[in-house]
Chains A and B, each alone.
Chain A
Amino acid sequence: MDFGFKLSPSSAVNLDTVDRRRYDRLVQLQPDALTCIGCGSCSATCTSASWTGMSVRKVLLGLQRGRDEEVDKMLSGCMLCGKCTMVCPRGINTRQLILTLCRLDKNGEVVR
């Protein structure tokens, strides 16, 4: 029956069922990822953010929530300019973190 409106898909994330293998492998290879405080300085300074949607902060959040497709889309917009690395208050080498992440598949295996 068409009521003229319908249910919206839920945006709730069930952390018990999320596949975090890629994030766990990243942390193994780049332990700096654990020190991120999510301040967003990297996103604020990102050159490509405004037209590609790239955001290192959102990449890490997306990985923790198992949203690999969104993460890959964002990573494809990165120009590896390294400005995010220069502004990170925790001194995380975000450029190296992105390069490492691009080498991992969804299962956390190094493929490149």
Chain B
Amino acid sequence: MIYQGKQKIWADYQKEIPDNHYFYVRSCIRQNFFPASERYFLKICRDLLGRDIYETEHHTTCAGIAYHCDTLPQETAMTVVARQFALMTEAGYENLVTSCITSFGNYCEVLESWREFPELEAMIRENLWKACRREFNKPKYVAHASDLVYKLRGEIAERAKFHLVSRATGEPLRIVEHIGCHYSKMFPHKGVGGAEYPCVLSGMAEAWGGQVIDYPERRHCCGYGFRQYHVRANRGYSLSNTHKKFESMEPFHPDMIITNCPGCPYFLDRWQYVIAEQTGKTYGRNGYGIPVLTYEELAGLVLGVDPWDLGLQIHQVAVEPLLDKIGIPYDPARKYLGMDEKKIMTPGLPTSLKCF
């Protein structure tokens, strides 16, 4: 195929991401799993890059987690979403940026449903008015936070204090990128690169010096799947999915995994411990696991933020070998110090997975 033809096809997979003025909605579970990620997204975008990102303490869950677990009907989830839109409208914003992949999928699904069935939108507007006397405008643009960081990746690269290369050899780090299923598998045209070539994370990794590796199960689910993990009897299925991914990526010797979903980093991280306890197998070098980072944590590391301020001590898999490889300084004595240098509890060590 001629070059221009390829360019034209690739253009269909791109999306125009507004540069500024966003209403930010947080994830309900990320703040527990990886608490510094959302904080550093705001710090990087607002303080470092000077973007206008507004958030309000009045916003709630998008109800996506309950909707996908079949515990509430879609109309209820839509009314909750409509309330978020009302908060956005009241604050004077037109662009919505979500921290959570499932929220992103949920907002897109709600807007698409209203486009297809306008009578449903009218019903939800009426429900919202009856419930809390609010009205709303639909957002002009819904972005995921990783879209915005993808757009700003060049500006972050310009300010980078570290690059994703091995300090000893100068070789780029081998990075596995894992994209949440609700990002582009539900509405392919809403994600950068569509469902076939999502490049939102690979674009960041390459801009910051890393090398993205391809492996057979690259687009496989991380294994979370709400109805798999939340029902205890199904957790073996969740674990087996994650195991399948690790078995597939193992021959390519990845240095790290980056993700853009709340569930994926949690399960790719924690299941490494469970797999090691059950089978004795670890996937990193010398008995360690493969560190799993969120894209905000990776951006923070690249920008020179202290790893313990980024909350990397909350990860199950030890990140120290990765920090040593890049050459990022850290103080081991500060690892488990809380706010105001107060000493908090030190976790016990696993039997099979090597940790610090």
Residues facing B in A1-17 (CB within 8 A) are 1, 3-8, 10, 12
- Tell me, yes or no, whether B148 is within 8 Å of chain A by CB: no
Whole-angstrom distance between the alpha carbons of A6 and B247 in the complex? 16
Question: Per a CB cutoff under 8 Å, which of B232, B237, B240, B279 touches A4?
Answer: B232
A1 touching B240, Cβ below 8 Å: no
Q: Is the interface of A mostly helix, strand, loop or mixed?
A: loop
Residues of A within 8 A of B274 (CB): 3
The one of B235, B244, B278 in contact with A10, judged by C-beta atoms closer than 8 angstroms, is: B244
B316 to chain A, nearest CB (A): 14
Q: B233 and A7: CB pair below 8 A?
A: no
| A4, B275: Cα distance in complex, Å | 13
> Which of A4, A5, A6, A8 has most chain B Cβ within 10 Å?
A5
B277 and A7 contact, CB distance less than 8 A: no
A6: B residues at CB distance < 8 A: 236, 239, 278
Q: Mark B202-246, 1 if CB is under 8 A from A, else 0.
A: 000000000000000000000000000000110111011001100
- Bound Cα distance A3, B240 (Å): 14
Contacts A8-B236, A8-B237 hold; do A3 and B244 have CB atoms under 8 A apart? no
Q: Which residues in A have their C-beta under 8 angstroms from that of B237?
A: 8
CB contacts (< 8 Å) of A1 on chain B: these are 277-278, 351
* Chain B, residue nearest A1 (CB): B277
**Separation in Å of the A82 CB from the closest CB of chain B?**
42
Q: Find out whether the CB atom of A7 lies under 8 angstroms from the CB atom of B278.
A: yes
Decide if B239 touches A7 in the complex (CB within 8 Å): yes
Determine whether the beta carbon of A7 is less than 8 Å from that of B243.
yes
B232 touching A12, Cβ below 8 Å: no
Q: How far is the CA of A8 from the CA of B239 in the complex (A)?
A: 8
B237: nearest residue on chain A (CB-CB)?
Answer: A8
Given A6-B239, A6-B278, A7-B278, 7 other A-B residues pairs in contact with their CB atoms under 8 A: A1-B351, A5-B236, A6-B236, A7-B236, A7-B279, A8-B236, A8-B237
Give A residues with C-beta under 8 Å from B: 1, 3-8, 10, 12
Q: List 28 A-B contacts (CB under 8 A).
A: A1-B277, A1-B278, A1-B351, A3-B235, A3-B274, A3-B278, A4-B232, A4-B235, A5-B232, A5-B233, A5-B235, A5-B236, A5-B239, A6-B236, A6-B239, A6-B278, A7-B239, A7-B240, A7-B243, A7-B275, A7-B278, A7-B279, A8-B240, A10-B240, A10-B243, A10-B244, A10-B247, A12-B244
